[in-house]
Amino acid sequence: MEGAKCFMTLAALVCLAAPLTLAQTRIDAAYLQGRVQELPEKRPGKLDVSDKEILQFKWDKGSWKVLYSEIKTVYVSLSRRSVMMEAFGIYAAPVAAGKKRKLLLSLVVNDKPGANRNCVFYLPGGANREFIRALETGTGRNVIFESEEARVGAEGK
């Protein structure tokens, strides 16, 4: 009888943990801007890195998928001017003193033959270590952080 209780407890814990693990690799986001016409600008959705081969952005009326192997750069910055954002041709508006900066995830994607495209996602709730690790594992690339402040904002250290 004791073994059955132990098994039931373990089964319940596994069932409860599975959704939590999925939630850590799916985060709130919005496509801010870039060169990916398939994505609707400023539309909220979910960035999902739970798949081993593809990154997916889902919004209320559709989804966009890209193979991790096609992602060439992963860059995390804050909503202020940065070298990478200027290279993308994106200029963030200045942030008023005392206001929290927004976390941005920039990707350089080579999903069209001979063409690199960039996309910038706003991460309203930040990210988490599991999301960042899954993104690094999937792409095989280290996430580049604009600053320690951006790293803390993304990983919640």
pLDDT confidence of residue 145? 92
pLDDT confidence of residue 4? 54
- pLDDT confidence band for 84 (50 / 70 / 90): low
User: Whole-number mean pLDDT of the chain?
Assistant: 78
Say what angle helices 129-139 and 148-155 make with each other, to 10 degrees. 100
The number of CA neighbours under 13 Å toward the Cβ of 38 is 12
Beta strands in the chain (DSSP E): 26-34, 44-48, 54-59, 62-67, 71-78, 103-112, 115-123, 144-145
Domains of the chain, earliest start first: 26-155 (2.30.29.30)
Is the full-model pTM beyond 0.85?
no
**Mean pLDDT along residues 50-65:** 95
**Mean pLDDT along residues 132-151:** 92
pLDDT confidence of residue 126? 79
